[in-house]
Amino acid sequence: MAGGAREVLTLQLGHFAGFVGAHWWNQQDAALCAPTGAKEPPGELCPDVLYRTGRTPHGQETYTPRLILMDLKGSLSSLKQEGGLYGDRQLDAAIAWQGKLTTHREELYPQIPGLQDLLSAEGVLSSDGIWRVKSIPNGKGPPPLTTAAAPKPFTPTEDSIRVWSDFLRVHLHPRSICMIQKYNHDGEAGRLEAFGQGESILKEPRCLEDVEDRLHFYVEECDHLQGFQILCDLHNGFSGLGAKAAELLRDEYSGRGIITWGLLPGPYSRGDPLKNIYRLLNTALGLVHMSAHSSLVCPLSLGGGLGLRPEPPVTFPHLHYDPALPFHCGAILATALDTVTAPYRLRSSPVFMAHLADMLNFSGKKVATAAATIPFPLAPGQSLPDALVQLGGAAAWTPLSACGSPSGTCCFAQSVVLRGLDRACHTSQLAPGTPLPSPLHACATGEDVLARYLQQQQPTVRSSAHLLLAPCMVAPPYPQLFSPGLSQHGLVVDGPPSGAGTCFVSLYSRGEHPSAWGPLLLLVLEPDPGRPG
């Protein structure tokens, strides 16, 4: 039980959703394992919103994601479908048959050397270099212990990551993974390519019953279920599966919030024209049907557009990533997702999912777009008013919904989250009597600074703003995408790289891996009701 938390059940549908989800859950795990001596006070975000406590048949207490995950045959690599905490139910089951038995066992995929040291359910590498037993929040779980040796550092490479399960460091409950055996992940035959194929999966009685059983298992143990978040591929047949899943949730759990994050990988090539037409149709049908059954839908992609004409990928002044790698794109989108979902995961005064969706909806329009500044361009010695004045308007934000630049776009409402900013930087530190550079420097709190900034930039827009101290935690195997101009905590120690605003698209490796994304600013925009289309 979540003990008063407003629980959320996550549905993760599709292979690219798996990449985003694996990074997302790794970041939740990194936040759970943050050292207690960190500057930011613990407890701003309530992990019980996303996690559940349980107990294995052997009495071991567990803390696993409240998650239902669906993917195709061949996508799990070395990960067991039943997870690694509760044992193999098939092998442990009593066999009544007394005759001769023949066992056919499929050869397992080789595990990635070095990664397994990160995947221990009992251990975590703390900031002082000691390998400690991981305890469950709120005092649950085993007491901290230490061992003599820490795992060796691991840096994933392009060749070592085949599928999302290769780098997932979080253990899952046996009822989380639901494999679709009818379609293949690899190869040219038996692929889930069309919207209608995905829709038909949940029309099959056996599959529908399986999904409903998993939903009931998680929902019935919740005390205060606030809703569901769906992470779903838009570009393939999973868009149809996601639409059908949203319809199922709306019919069975009316009144709960359903927020759908439609995920697309990076830019595509012209390649096969038929595949591009499938991608476009799946995306369009998915957005239409998901918005009909969800409280809110927001597409997330690092591509420049959703149409048939390829557009260059979005760029970030302080990130160097390869847009062709789902491992890189998934990491950036997971970072954005971890921030934009913070309002309904707060421990104190959360904004419930349904209320957030209602605020962003207007006249039945349920499709929102997202934009971000990753990381927030704060230099050492700067205050929040200094940085916001330097940032300017929406032109400085990078679009994350493949809908073009937000510059000049009118919107109806917005939800803004700024996180990872030390409290000492929230307000101006100018000496008394110094002329104020802007009205922002006169504000008494960081919340007032952010609210005043939003009101200045878009005075007619309805805004909901949150200023969090806790950064977005990252740890290996998160890829090293960071510019040399960033400190370990995400501060801009140098000026913007020469050529900022041009395309920096490359795989960049550096020795020091930042421990947290902070500060980070993310904005969700709803199109203006008077704007055509």
| CATH code of the domain covering residue 235 | 3.40.50.1440
Domain boundary among 327, 342, 360: 360
| Domain-embedded: residue 256 | yes
Q: Where does a domain end: 329, 360, 391?
A: 360
Decide: helix, strand or coil at residue 371.
Answer: strand
Q: What is the C-alpha separation between 392 and 406, in angstroms, rounded?
A: 13
Number of domains in the chain: 2
| Domain range enclosing 402 | 370-494+515-525
Q: Tell me: do 329 and 476 sit in the same domain.
A: no
In terms of domains, do 192 and 338 share one?
A: yes
Within a domain: 478? yes
pLDDT in tens, the chain (533 residues): 444 689 999 999 999 999 999 999 999 998 887 665 545 455 789 999 999 998 888 788 889 999 999 999 888 876 777 666 666 544 444 556 667 777 666 555 555 555 555 554 334 433 333 333 344 555 444 444 333 344 444 555 656 788 898 899 899 999 999 999 888 887 776 789 899 999 999 999 999 999 999 999 999 999 999 999 999 999 999 999 999 999 999 999 998 999 999 999 987 776 778 888 889 999 999 999 999 999 999 999 998 888 777 788 988 888 889 998 999 999 999 999 999 999 999 998 889 999 999 988 877 788 888 888 888 888 888 888 998 888 876 556 788 988 766 555 677 888 889 988 888 889 988 888 788 889 999 999 999 999 999 888 888 888 888 998 888 888 888 888 888 877 776 677 764 433 222 222 211 122 233 344 445 555 544 443 443 33
CA dist list (Å): 181 to 282, 307, 374, 507: 21, 31, 38, 35
**Does 166 share its domain with 252?**
yes
pLDDT of 224: 93
Burial class for 504, CB neighbours closer than 10 Å (0-12, 13-18, 19+): middle
287 and 417 together in one domain: no
Cβ distance 308 to 9 under 8 Å?
no
Q: Is residue 153, in this structure, part of any structural domain at all?
A: no
Q: Is residue 157 part of a domain?
A: no
271 with 352, same domain?
A: yes
Looking at the fold, whether 333 and 385 belong to one and the same domain comes out as no
Give phi and psi for 217, each to the nearest 5.
Answer: -60, -45
Instruction: Say what the pLDDT of residue 529 is.
Output: 40
pLDDT of residue 345: 95
| 56 & 194 share domain | yes
pLDDT value of position 42: 56
pTM: 0.83
- Hey, what are 433's tokens? 């009597």
User: Phi, psi (5° rounding) for residue 297?
Assistant: -130, 135
Residues 355 and 393 in one domain: no
Asked whether residue 136 is domain-assigned, the answer is: no
Contact indicator for 268, 282 with CB cutoff of 8 Å: no
230 and 284 belong to one structural domain: yes
Q: What share of the chain is helix, strand, coil (3-state, %, to 5)?
A: 25, 20, 55
Does 423 lie in the same domain as 374? yes
User: In terms of domains, do 219 and 283 share one?
Assistant: yes
193: in domain: yes
Which residues share a beta bridge with 136? 140
Domain boundary among 309, 341, 360: 360
Assigned domain for 97 exists = no
How far is 421 from 461, CA to CA, in rounded Å? 25
Tell whether 384 is covered by a domain. yes
Same domain, 198 and 331: yes
Confidence at residue 206, expressed as pLDDT on a 0 to 100 scale: 94
